[in-house]
Structure 1
Amino acid sequence: MRLDLRMPAPPGRLRRGPFREGAFSERLHDPRTAVVLGRWLAAAFTVCFATGLLSHVLQQPPDWLRDGLPSRPVQGYRITQGLHVVSGIAAIPLLGAKLWTVYPRLFAWPPARGPVQAAERLGVGLLVAAALLELFTGLLNTAQWYPWPFPFRQTHYWAAWIAIGGLLLHVAAKAPLIAAHWRRPSPRDGGADRRRFLLAVGAAVGAVTAVTAGQTVPGLRRLDLLAPRRPDIGPQGLPVNRTAAQAGTASVDTAAWRLRVLGPRPYEVTLAELRAMPQYEAELPIACVEGWSASARWSGVRVRDLLERAGAPASSRVRVVSPDRGPYGVTELGPHYASDPLTLLALRIDGEDLAADHGRPARLIAPNRPGVLQTKWVTRLEVLS
């Protein structure tokens, strides 16, 4: 007896109109096409999930990990967050093509023949809803547009877990069908149509990637047509997400400004005294969660020198405080960051004093660190441990 591994016909009849029975007879709605697109989409989702989880941990590390976060490689966060946004944008046309291929099955009627199938279809519904929410909110986040009443970061984080969990359950449920069509040669009937369709989807993915990845990949900068940011446009040739006016720091009096360093031997210094200390220079990127990144030459005083003068142990964790009224006005540096010789309290960028929007008179700059944690307008360093 020959086993028929084709996608089973739905029980009963499909809904009327465009969802009626027999309305989807072309080969592009077959299991082979769905499996090929599923492989591409699963790869994009996996990369996006893994890099997004890393970004979340770097921004809000759990207590057991916060002292172990590494400051190297220097370009680490720039690469991983760039991959996160690129893979998320690539997943948009892939998800659209995948849903177009399988959506006749989504409207089968009756919707389930029993509890097992009902649970499977509920899981598919959660997977589709979570995936659409992830890509929609993530895309608008790249433009810093939040037209919804719920918090973006927490919602994006938990929806990612729902999406990846739903994806794993879906793969497990469809494993026999996926295995049957994973490497099966395309039949002559409809094979050319399938290849053309998959080529069109691949071209769409390549196009949206090429015209948006330039905000992270320097080699694609000339093609950066649809990305919301150009990394070479902004004060002193570098973009800013939060201006001094937005942070309420535009009127900082540099003559009266003081940096306080609180440790076993607390002290404070003026801007002139900071400038008289040994100055160091480092080529470091600003890499933001929205996906854009750009490098600059920063110069200033090493944070570890400031902490050593305060009598702080080499394994110290440090709180960085600024008058910024936003959610990242206060951040923390783990021991690996605080002791890294590339972590600077920067006073200059590319040979010029910092502009107000870049954190004048002093800002933090550290390797392998999200841009939101590169605190600007620093007024205090507090040794915590």
Structure 2
Amino acid sequence: MARSTSFPVRWRSPLRGPWFTSALGVVLLAGITVLFVTGLLSYAAYNPDLSPVNDKTPDKGLLGFYLFSWPTGPYWLYRLTQGVHVTLGITLVPVLLAKLWSVVPRLFQLPPARSVAHALERISLLLLVGGALFEFTTGVLNVQLDYVFPGSFYPLHFYGAWVFFAAFVAHAVLKVPAALRNLRGLREDEGLPRERAGQLRAPHPDPPTVSRRGALWLVGGGALLLFGTSAGRSFDGPLRRTAVLTPHGGADPGSGPGGFQINKTAAYVGVTARETSGEAWRLVVTGRTGIVRLSRAELLALDLHSSALPIACVEGWSTSDQWWRGVRLRDVAQLVGYDADTAPDVLVESLQSHGAFRRAALRTNQVRDARSLLALEVNGEPLTLDHGYPARVIVPGAPGVLNTKWVARMTFGEL
């Protein structure tokens, strides 16, 4: 079909063209690859092989081939990988939207399918575009704690990522060589064959008001603006207050020993001061030799140790290192028949009455790490109720949701 009839006449921007689309595509090629890898690392950090406790994604089958025991060192590992994942995802939003805008006329070209191969290409584009919009939208909503989508975020984002990335890889294999040719030694679209340039360039464009390089600067400026208003949640001091687009990043957590970020308050999850009082609360520890019940006073009478560790959450925010003091998890395991070298996995249960992680499991390497604590104090003072009083778990390198607050029961052994 002739160029003038195959390109929808209502799309007349002079900015569209192979050079502009290729420049955006190369940025997304690198950025989305990093997003996919860091996303898989985040999923591995949740110990999804400890099913059905931590695993919120059933029937993953072959998609779980890469899973491994998440390490406890370096202790800031999850803070780094998830901070990169979320911050980069937000930063790439203007680039993604500009890329979709630059190629949207192709979605409306006629005829819709000129051959079987062309029809398959159009279907793959729908998976690519739909997958990109789905992944970025659910990711941003998760960061904003706005769960308007049906079902659990974990399986939706996980399966969506595989569908999107498969389409992305297929598209990259087909298009990257052409994209590099478009960029190499070309200024705008000069030197491109007419039929190749015409796939993206309007046949009768409106007069230009800005150059394509100017448009790229505009997209880059938008990305930098999003970066500058979200990255600060991973840092401390004045930079944290610049994170105005994220719920936890820029919020003022107050001052004092408990003056650091909180994901969910005690009131939000239904934990009351009455059930955490000294008269009511007992930690129930179960293991090889039976059951032990301990009051907070009895825990404080055990050997206490300190660790300087941050909290890092899947939403991408993190705290600075806080000084935690409590009983080592491997020492808790000793109370029910294990020594430091044989301490097994542990199931930790919280007092909270609702939420996805009322129960969380920790792997053997996490339990045996000398820095892993059942924390009773933070920064020299007893835990506040919102920070998990009377006792909470803190483990180096673990996602925040696995650092269970308001611990009620710990069960050591095969899960």
Counterpart secondary structure, 1:300: strand
Q: Which amino acid counterpart does residue 264 of structure 1 have in structure 2?
A: R
Q: Which amino acid counterpart does residue 17 of structure 2 have in structure 1?
A: D
- 5 Å matches for 1:29-178? 29-62=16-49, 68-178=69-179
Corresponding residue number in structure 2 for 1:3: none
Q: Which amino acid counterpart does residue 330 of structure 1 have in structure 2?
A: R
- Quick check: 1:223 aligned with 2:242? yes
Q: Which amino acid counterpart does residue 59 of structure 1 have in structure 2?
A: Y
- Quick check: 1:256 aligned with 2:314? no
Q: Which whole-Å CA distance do the structure 1 matches of 2:319 and 2:46 have between them?
A: 19
Q: Which whole-Å CA distance do the structure 1 matches of 2:158 and 2:323 have between them?
A: 33
- 5 Å matches for 1:1-385? 12-15=5-8, 18-19=10-11, 23-24=12-13, 26=14, 28-62=15-49, 68-187=69-188, 193-218=211-236, 220-230=239-249, 233-234=252-253, 236-250=258-272, 251-252=274-275, 253-266=277-290, 267-295=292-320, 296-313=322-339, 314-315=341-342, 316-325=344-353, 326-385=355-414
Q: CA deviation at 1:175?
A: 4.0
Q: Which whole-Å CA distance do the structure 1 matches of 2:144 and 2:126 have between them?
A: 28
Q: Which amino acid counterpart does residue 223 of structure 1 have in structure 2?
A: T
Q: Which whole-Å CA distance do the structure 2 matches of 1:44 and 1:9 have between them?
A: 36
Q: Which whole-Å CA distance do the structure 1 matches of 2:335 and 2:105 have between them?
A: 69
Deviates more, 1:228-237 or 1:283-292: 228-237
Q: Which amino acid counterpart does residue 300 of structure 1 have in structure 2?
A: G
Contact 2:127 2:167 in 1 (8 A): yes
Question: CA 1:379–1:231 in structure 2 vs 1: closer, same or farther (change >3 Å)?
Answer: farther
- Under a length normalisation based on structure 2, what TM-score does the superposition of the two structures give? 0.83
Superposed CA RMSD: 2.3
- Identity, % of aligned positions: 38
Structure 1 residues not aligned, in runs of 5+: 1-7
Q: Which whole-Å CA distance do the structure 1 matches of 2:177 and 2:139 have between them?
A: 33
Q: Which amino acid counterpart does residue 224 of structure 1 have in structure 2?
A: A
The one-character-per-residue Cα deviations of 1:314-365 (angstroms, maximum 9, x if unpaired) are 2411111222232211111101100001100001111121111111100000
Contact 2:305 2:328 in 1 (8 A): yes
Structure 2 residues not aligned, in runs of 5+: 51-64, 191-207
Q: CA deviation at 1:311?
A: 1.7
Deviates more, 1:169-178 or 1:60-69: 60-69
Q: Which whole-Å CA distance do the structure 2 matches of 1:11 and 1:53 have between them?
A: 44
Question: CA 1:226–1:247 in structure 2 vs 1: closer, same or farther (change >3 Å)?
Answer: closer
Q: CA deviation at 1:11?
A: 8.1
Counterpart secondary structure, 2:124: helix
Aligned residues: 371
Contact 2:244 2:250 in 1 (8 A): no
The one-character-per-residue Cα deviations of 1:170-213 (angstroms, maximum 9, x if unpaired) are 112224422422423325979x9222222222121111101111
Q: Which whole-Å CA distance do the structure 2 matches of 1:195 and 1:67 have between them?
A: 44
Counterpart secondary structure, 2:6: coil
Question: CA 1:9–1:203 in structure 2 vs 1: closer, same or farther (change >3 Å)?
Answer: farther
Counterpart secondary structure, 1:379: strand
Contact 1:67 1:334 in 2 (8 A): no
Deviates more, 1:321-330 or 1:82-91: 321-330
Counterpart secondary structure, 2:135: helix
Counterpart secondary structure, 2:121: helix
Q: CA deviation at 1:255?
A: 2.7
Question: CA 1:384–1:9 in structure 2 vs 1: closer, same or farther (change >3 Å)?
Answer: farther
Question: CA 1:363–1:65 in structure 2 vs 1: closer, same or farther (change >3 Å)?
Answer: farther
Counterpart secondary structure, 1:38: helix
Contact 2:21 2:103 in 1 (8 A): yes
Contact 1:10 1:109 in 2 (8 A): no
Deviates more, 1:49-58 or 1:181-190: 181-190
Counterpart secondary structure, 1:381: strand
Which structure's residues are more often helix, by fraction? 1
Question: CA 1:44–1:217 in structure 2 vs 1: closer, same or farther (change >3 Å)?
Answer: farther
Contact 2:38 2:82 in 1 (8 A): yes
The one-character-per-residue Cα deviations of 1:248-273 (angstroms, maximum 9, x if unpaired) are 22132223322222122332221111
Deviates more, 1:264-273 or 1:330-339: 264-273
Counterpart secondary structure, 1:332: strand
Contact 2:26 2:179 in 1 (8 A): no
Q: CA deviation at 1:137?
A: 1.3
Question: CA 1:15–1:203 in structure 2 vs 1: closer, same or farther (change >3 Å)?
Answer: closer
Q: CA deviation at 1:214?
A: 0.6
Question: CA 1:104–1:65 in structure 2 vs 1: closer, same or farther (change >3 Å)?
Answer: closer
Q: Which whole-Å CA distance do the structure 1 matches of 2:103 and 2:68 have between them?
A: 46
Q: Which amino acid counterpart does residue 234 of structure 1 have in structure 2?
A: P
Q: Which amino acid counterpart does residue 47 of structure 1 have in structure 2?
A: V
Q: CA deviation at 1:66?
A: 7.6
Q: Which whole-Å CA distance do the structure 1 matches of 2:250 and 2:74 have between them?
A: 21
